[in-house]
Amino acid sequence: MSDFFSVFGLERRLAIDAPALQRRFYELSRQWHPDFHGGAAADVQARALEESARVNAAYRALRDPLARVEYLIRLEEGRDTNEGAAIKPKAPPALLAEMFEIQEALEEARAGALDDATRATMSEQRAGLEARMAQAEAQITGPLSQAWDAAAPAGKPAALNALKDALATRAYLRTVIDDLVAVLEPEQVGGLGG
């Protein structure tokens, strides 16, 4: 099966012109959306449904630069079926001591005690981690993505590994931030079931 880049007539590159991608998505939607094939024969309708589902999936995978990197990794590794993150969170070695401290504070807060001082510390830690995550994201969608695009075939695996490591760090930061948010703003979490 062809990949999501080719759905939009693109080469396998991480640099994508966002407005052009959106234009092409709208064009393909106009071509395939079931709304415009309601009166057609059953097989044409089925084809339209399948194609438009594919166009939607492709756009979802490519429009966001981070999701695009995740998709590229899946594609390069030959995994094609399930959506969702394929990257396991990994703590960055440089942050281990600090992370230990945060985990400890989290344990305490979960045990029931969340005084103003702890709350303030945790809010500060959260802000620090969010800044780090933004940095990690900028690194992934900026220099690391450019490096993969620019690499010669022989250099691609190394460039891909760099992307994977950075994504693992980001995923780790994400989970710790989520844990902090769960303690600091419990009303923001859960309760979404319809």
Q: Give the binding site for another protein (CB under 8 A).
A: 26, 29-30, 33-36, 38-39, 49-50, 52-54, 56-57, 59-60, 64, 81-84, 187-188, 190, 192-194
Tokens coding 143: 């220099």
Q: Using the minimum distance from each CB to another protein, give the nearer residue, 2 or 82.
A: 82
Q: Using the minimum distance from each CB to another protein, give the nearer residue, 11 or 187.
A: 187
Q: Residue type for 69, please? A: V
- Tokens 């940095």 found at: 135
- Least separation, in Å, of the C-beta of 164 and another protein? 21
Burial of 148 (0-12, 13-18, 19+ CB in 10 A): buried
- Tokens 């075939």 found at: 153
Ramachandran sector of residue 147 (left: φ over 0; alpha: ψ -120 to 50; beta: rest):
alpha
- Least separation, in Å, of the C-beta of 162 and another protein? 25
- Tokens 């490519």 found at: 62
- Least separation, in Å, of the C-beta of 75 and another protein? 15
Q: Using the minimum distance from each CB to another protein, give the nearer residue, 97 or 192.
A: 192
90 within 8 A of 96, measured Cβ to Cβ = no
- Least separation, in Å, of the C-beta of 48 and another protein? 9
Q: Using the minimum distance from each CB to another protein, give the nearer residue, 12 or 23.
A: 23
CB under 8 Å to 18, separation ≥6 — which residues? 63
- Least separation, in Å, of the C-beta of 138 and another protein? 15
Tokens coding 27: 């064009």
Q: Using the minimum distance from each CB to another protein, give the nearer residue, 49 or 147.
A: 49
5 within 8 A of 12, measured Cβ to Cβ = yes
